[in-house]
Amino acid sequence: MRIALFVTCLADTMFPQAATATVRLLERLGHEVVFPQEQTCCGQMHVNTGYQREAVPLVRRHVRVFDPYDVIVAPSGSCVGSVRHQHATVARRAGDVRLASRAESVAERTYELSELLVDVLGVTDVGAYYPHRVTYHPTCHSLRMLRVGDRPRQLLGAVRGLDLVELPAAEQCCGFGGTFAVKNPETSTAMLADKMRHVLSTGADVCAAGDVSCLMHIGGGLSRLRTGVRTVHLAEILASTEQSARSAARP
Amino acid sequence: MVGRPVTSRDLVLGRLRAALAADDAAAAPVDVPRDYRQAAAVDLDQLAQRLTDYRAHVHRVAEAAVADTIADLLPDGGTVVVPPGLPRAWLPPTVTALPDDGLDHARIGAADAVVTAAAVAIAQTGTVVLDASPDQGRRVLSLLPDRHVCVVRADQVVATVPEALARLTPHRPLTWISGPSATSDIELIRVEGVHGPRQLHVILLP
Amino acid sequence: MTRRTFLGMPATTPPVTAPAGVGHLRGEESFPTAARRSLADPQLRRNLRHATTTIRAKSAGVIAEQSDWEQLRTAGAAIKADTLRRLPDLLEQLEEKVTAAGGVVHWAADAVEANRIVTDLVRATGADRVIKVKSMATQEIGLNEALEAAGITAVETDLAELIVQFGDDRPSHILVPAIHRNRAEIREIFLREMPGVDPALTDDPAALAAAARRFLRETFLSTPVAVSGANFAVVETGTLAVVESEGNGRMCLTVPETLITVMGVEKLVPTWRDLEVFLQLLPRASTGERMNPYTSMWTGVTPGDGPQTFHLVLLDNGRSAVLADEVGRQALRCIRCSACLNVCPVYERAGGHAYGSVYPGPIGAVLSPQLTGIEDNASLPYASTLCGACYDACPVKINIPELLVHLRAEAVESRPRPTAESIAMAAAAYTMDRPRLYAAGQRAARLSRLVGRRGRGLPPPLNGWTASRDLPDPPAQTFREWWADR
């Protein structure tokens, strides 16, 4: 299958490993990945901060860039959520009905990684190997906007060597919320403190999620406290194989 | 502005109409789907269990045994507020009846108990509903005494809230009672008995 | 008077919001400032965590019993949407029914007028004291203060409201207004403020409740006027309903000679049958009970039973402005259950006072700014991570995250430009609409190490984030560079 990668600006700039892992994984499964170079940002930051007018050109760009593709994937529940639940609204608010209907059409073809794998490609065992104790944070937008349900856990459950431990109060927000963490840093930190406490209580070495923004937040806290727990994107785990683990272990 | 003075009624209604006027979508009728559960089979055990769950005391006896049941609940010579249409056979000879012929609040509040019938009971929620019929009396009778004994006949029991509303008459004063009065205002700990009766006894007849 | 623009719609009558200087819809501080104080209060944090966790579990248990919960939510949302669509006509019909049943209907355009109507009605009875059953509408308009100014004492009879009133405090939750207080604090307040209290009072919740019972019983029996709110008003019958637990509602609705009910205009349901939906939704979403201990329903006046004089005050106070916003109006579906507070991670940590208004939590963050106009509560729509837990919990399916995003746009568009933020946002949008410039920006950020080691050199406001978190080092290669190199 030919799949267009919607990399998301944050993964592109700060966490390319989540995006390269997505490419390696899909190619390993026998699919063709294309990267439309004209893409930039879906505009979620603008919309969620109140700058809907400024987001209109970004929505227009996103729709134009991705309209030619039948299947689009992003390694981010939040950005897919924005495409599905915000793009048409932004267009309609700006009075552009045609853009709104094109945005809805693109949204129907856009999938979060675990949705693409389980629903479109029909695979739960991707042949991955990841010998670590992992706890999984489901992330709010994947959980409640996209309703990905237990798809990520099905995928993780099939990874060889992986010891999946239940995260207490997993459905609670980590406190990032984009602009929220900047405008309400103290409340955000209080939420993060509880999320970290739950992560640490599992004894996991790795906290995984399907969204680099939440991982940046949780990972930033875990790093500041020198907890020694790493944050890793779901795609990185699914892209790992015995071979890649061996080459990584080599000095 | 000239003409007649604008009343607040005109002002409020005018603002609300203006708020809707610019919106075509607001004119479209909204269809209310009612595919939730309307009715179910009555389960008296469920009623008893759910009443008990909320700390009501349930007594399942034949009608002939109502007086004896009440006698066991109250001290000898205890005073009982009696609505005008209450079956007198329900009252044991051991208690002093206070028929409501316009009792004042002090006398009602000082009574050991009130005995009433009910209009409807709902099994799924553990609720009895009073509608101020003669066998239940005015609302204050079942409010001020410390004990409320409520006699419910099996044919008054329905399974669901929709069935209960269908049986009730809207213009009557209605009191829905699910257990004794309670509060969870202090640390979310439920305490039974604040301002209403601290004990609720439901005598459930076959 | 504030004015708002509505998506280019020509507004012949500009929406009128709730007036300032009266009532409790506006905080003195922004949300982040007020939240900072509550976050630093360990007792408050513990009380809130305990309370919200307990209610969440109780509510989840009884909702799980109700297999048709989703159908009920859909019906509840539809009934309320239908009501709002026909609100002016329905209000006229309600007025007719209540009047026919012996009640007197009053219309109040705002808080000032509602307070004046109630004060005049109480004065006309000659009473200098009223008993009150917990009501959000009367807190919203600051009725107690207005009555006090007129020499009339208002006694709150709900246990939590009594605690708040004795403590000279503000409510912090819709359902459990004293949620921020623990038993030891409540005992202290009672010992200090409750006339005739037993000095040996313990902090056992049952003993505290019994003390309130003793204190209020005489007041209930000797006060000739009561003031209440209403949970529902049934248009086709003129019936009003109050849902409660303690019996203080029954006392107020039954014992006095005069009853004055103050109700927001949005509280209507068209038909008697509609109650079957809300009487199932409200207790389970609210207190986590199958049914609350007491629900009272009355239609006008019943000879020989209960108050013989009944006044109904219909309150606008900004609700017509909310109705005018096609996206925002769904907030008027709210039945004040407080489920959204109990599931909100922000409320759980910041507490109700941080919201400044009598309506705290997620529903407050979307309702207060609409009632007052966005300028007066501009920080509230940002008091959320948009995690969506509130939307899932709402029994009438108010899409609170959608509303928050909508109101953020209103907040931005109502502010004069430019601001530092608007310049940054415009610059970001400009760059992101030009892929080459965007790629150059990515490289520049890395090369200049603008963010400094672990992000600690970031300028405000971004340094708020890095105060407690490390920013990762920028990667050696962006994804698009990696792709180009393949």
Per the CB < 8 A criterion, the answer to whether C458 and C452 are in contact is yes
CB atoms B181 and C92 under 8 Å = no
Same domain, A103 and A177: no
Q: Which burial class, exposed, middle or buried, applies to C123 when counting CB atoms under 10 A from its CB (0-12, 13-18, 19+)?
A: middle
| Domain stops at, among A120, A145, A168 | A120
Q: Which candidate from C425, C461, C483 shows the least CB-CB separation from A182?
A: C461
Q: Which residue has the higher pLDDT, B184 or A148?
A: A148
Smallest Cα distance from A223 to chain C, Å: 6
Chain C segment 152-181 residues within 8 A of A by beta carbon are none
Structural domain that includes position C311: 1-415
Q: What is the pLDDT of residues C417-451, one digit of tens each?
A: 899 999 999 999 999 999 999 998 888 777 655 55
Q: Which residue has the higher pLDDT, C254 or C10?
A: C254
Could you tell me if residue C33 is inside a domain?
yes
Cβ-Cβ contacts under 8 Å for A19 (sequence gap 6 or more): A5, A7, A8, A11, A12, A75, A235, C479
Smallest Cα distance from B72 to chain C, Å: 25
What distance in Å separates the CA atoms of residue C31 and residue C351, rounded to the nearest whole number?
Answer: 11
Among C140, C95, C99, C148, smallest CA distance to C119 is for: C148
Mutate to test the interface with B, among C98, C216, C279 (most CBs of B within 10 A): C279
CB atoms B170 and C297 under 8 Å = yes
Half-sphere exposure of residue C102: CA atoms within 13 angstroms, side-chain side: 14
Could you tell me if residue A94 is inside a domain?
yes
The stretch A32-55 carries a mean pLDDT of 96
In this structure, what CATH number is given to the domain that contains residue C324?
A: 3.40.50.10420
Size of chain C in residues? 486
| pLDDT of amino acid B192 | 87
Contacts of C75 in chain B (CB under 8 A): 32-36
Could you tell me if residue A204 is inside a domain?
yes
| pLDDT of amino acid C453 | 58
| pLDDT of amino acid B23 | 76
Per the CB < 8 A criterion, the answer to whether C1 and C20 are in contact is no
Contacts of B103 in chain C (CB under 8 A): none
Token duo for residue C92: 């006229």
Q: Which residues pair with B60 in a beta bridge?
A: B204
Token duo for residue C167: 């403590």
B188 alpha carbon, distance to own chain's centre:
24
Dihedral angle over CA of C350, C353, C355, C361, nearest 10: 60
What distance in Å separates the CA atoms of residue C133 and residue C116, rounded to the nearest whole number?
Answer: 19
What distance in Å separates the CA atoms of residue C351 and residue C185, rounded to the nearest whole number?
Answer: 17
C16 alpha carbon, distance to own chain's centre:
20
Token duo for residue B9: 């009624």
Same domain, C248 and C271: yes
**Sign of the CA dihedral C88, C90, C93, C97?**
negative
In this structure, what CATH number is given to the domain that contains residue A230?
A: 3.40.50
Neighboring chains of B (3 or more beta-carbon pairs < 8 A): C
What distance in Å separates the CA atoms of residue C322 and residue B15, rounded to the nearest whole number?
Answer: 11
Strands (E), C81-123: 103-108
In which band, very low, low, confident or very high, does the pLDDT at C45 lie, cut at 50, 70 and 90?
very high
C304 alpha carbon, distance to own chain's centre:
37
Half-sphere exposure of residue A36: CA atoms within 13 angstroms, side-chain side: 23
Smallest Cα distance from A181 to chain C, Å: 6
Smallest Cα distance from C31 to chain B, Å: 25
Mutate to test the interface with C, among B47, B183, B190 (most CBs of C within 10 A): B183
Same domain, A149 and A230: yes
| pLDDT of amino acid C467 | 81
The stretch C168-195 carries a mean pLDDT of 91
| Mean pLDDT over the full length of chain C | 93
Q: Which burial class, exposed, middle or buried, applies to B52 when counting CB atoms under 10 A from its CB (0-12, 13-18, 19+)?
A: middle
Same domain, C411 and C464: no
Taking residue C192's Cβ as centre, other Cβ atoms within 10 Å add up to 10
Q: Which residues pair with A160 in a beta bridge?
A: A129
Complex ipTM value: 0.96
**Over its length of 206 residues, how does chain B's per-residue pLDDT go in tens digits?**
456 668 999 999 999 999 999 777 767 888 999 999 999 999 999 999 999 999 999 999 999 999 999 999 999 999 999 999 999 999 999 999 999 999 999 999 999 999 999 999 999 999 999 999 999 999 999 999 999 999 999 999 999 999 999 999 999 999 999 988 888 888 888 888 889 899 999 999 99
Same domain, C104 and C68: yes
Same domain, C189 and C233: yes
Contacts of C212 in chain B (CB under 8 A): 194
Same domain, A102 and A203: no
| pLDDT of amino acid C42 | 93
What distance in Å separates the CA atoms of residue A1 and residue A6, rounded to the nearest whole number?
Answer: 16
Same domain, C400 and C433: no
What distance in Å separates the CA atoms of residue C268 and residue C82, rounded to the nearest whole number?
Answer: 10
> What total of structural domains would you count in chain A?
2
- Touch criterion met for A and B (3+ Cβ pairs within 8 Å): no
What distance in Å separates the CA atoms of residue C103 and residue A204, rounded to the nearest whole number?
Answer: 66
| Domain stops at, among C385, C415, C445 | C415
The stretch C8-17 carries a mean pLDDT of 66
CB atoms C47 and B37 under 8 Å = no
Same domain, A72 and A10: yes
Same domain, A103 and A48: yes
What distance in Å separates the CA atoms of residue B88 and residue B117, rounded to the nearest whole number?
Answer: 12
Same domain, C393 and C481: no
Establish, for the pair of chains B and C, how many residue pairs have beta carbons separated by less than 8 Å.
260
Half-sphere exposure of residue C251: CA atoms within 13 angstroms, side-chain side: 31
Could you tell me if residue A102 is inside a domain?
yes
Neighboring chains of A (3 or more beta-carbon pairs < 8 A): C
Please, where are the H alpha helices in C126-204?
136-140, 143-149, 159-166, 183-193
Smallest Cα distance from C326 to chain A, Å: 11
Could you tell me if residue A127 is inside a domain?
no
Contacts of C55 in chain B (CB under 8 A): 188
Smallest Cα distance from A155 to chain C, Å: 24
Could you tell me if residue A125 is inside a domain?
no
- Look up tokens 């945005």; give the residue: A103
Could you tell me if residue A191 is inside a domain?
yes
Per the CB < 8 A criterion, the answer to whether B111 and B98 are in contact is yes
| Domain stops at, among A120, A152, A173 | A120
DSSP codes, A1-45: -EEEE---HHHHHT-HHHHHHHHHHHHHTT-EEE--TT----SHH
Same domain, A236 and A141: yes
Same domain, A106 and A6: yes
Q: Which candidate from B18, B165, B189 shows the least CB-CB separation from C13?
A: B18
Per the CB < 8 A criterion, the answer to whether B161 and C327 are in contact is no
In which band, very low, low, confident or very high, does the pLDDT at C138 lie, cut at 50, 70 and 90?
very high
CB atoms C435 and A37 under 8 Å = yes
Q: Which candidate from C82, C316, C324 shows the least CB-CB separation from B30?
A: C82
Same domain, C361 and C466: no
Chain C segment 299-328 residues within 8 A of A by beta carbon are none
- Look up tokens 């019936």; give the residue: C239
Same domain, A142 and A102: no
Same domain, C435 and C343: no
Same domain, C306 and C440: no
Per the CB < 8 A criterion, the answer to whether B114 and B143 are in contact is no
Q: Which candidate from C71, C183, C292 shows the least CB-CB separation from B187?
A: C183
| pLDDT of amino acid C10 | 43
Same domain, C53 and C136: yes
Could you tell me if residue C423 is inside a domain?
no
In chain B the domains, ranked by start, together with CATH numbers, are 44-205 (3.40.50.10420)
| Domain stops at, among A64, A95, A120 | A120
Among C124, C445, C60, smallest CA distance to C288 is for: C60
Per the CB < 8 A criterion, the answer to whether A105 and A67 are in contact is yes
Token duo for residue B29: 């009728």
B35 three-state secondary structure: coil
Structural domain that includes position A88: 2-120
Could you tell me if residue A162 is inside a domain?
yes
| Domain stops at, among C415, C440, C462 | C415
Confirm or reject contact between C428 and chain A (CB < 8 A): yes
Q: What is the pLDDT of residues A73-114, one digit of tens each?
A: 999 999 999 999 999 999 999 999 999 999 999 999 999 999
In this structure, what CATH number is given to the domain that contains residue A39?
A: 1.20.1050
Asked if residue C87 has pLDDT above 90, the reply is yes
Taking residue C462's Cβ as centre, other Cβ atoms within 10 Å add up to 17
Same domain, A87 and A189: no
Token duo for residue A69: 């593709």
Among B152, B154, B155, B129, smallest CA distance to B202 is for: B152
Same domain, C125 and C202: yes
Confirm or reject contact between C447 and chain A (CB < 8 A): no
Helix pair C400-414, A52-66: axis angle to 10 deg: 120
Q: Which residue has the higher pLDDT, B182 or A186?
A: A186
Same domain, A106 and A163: no
Query: First CA to last CA across chain B, in angstroms?
Result: 70
Among C37, C439, C351, B192, smallest CA distance to A16 is for: C439
Per the CB < 8 A criterion, the answer to whether C256 and C224 are in contact is yes
Could you tell me if residue A31 is inside a domain?
yes
What distance in Å separates the CA atoms of residue B19 and residue C92, rounded to the nearest whole number?
Answer: 16
Same domain, C462 and C370: no
Contacts of B165 in chain C (CB under 8 A): 272-273, 275-276, 279
Which residue type sits at C129?
R
| Domain stops at, among C353, C381, C415 | C415
| pLDDT of amino acid B189 | 84
Token duo for residue C285: 């979403």
> What total of structural domains would you count in chain C?
2
| pLDDT of amino acid C463 | 74
Asked if residue A245 has pLDDT above 90, the reply is no
Q: What is the pLDDT of residues C128-137, one digit of tens each?
A: 999 999 899 9
Same domain, A199 and A150: yes
Confirm or reject contact between B25 and chain C (CB < 8 A): yes
Same domain, A158 and A231: yes
| pLDDT of amino acid C14 | 79
Helix pair C400-414, C361-372: axis angle to 10 deg: 40
Chain C segment 29-58 residues within 8 A of A by beta carbon are 31-32, 35-36, 39, 45
CA C16 → CA B14, C13, C172, C228, distances in Å? Answer: 11, 9, 27, 25
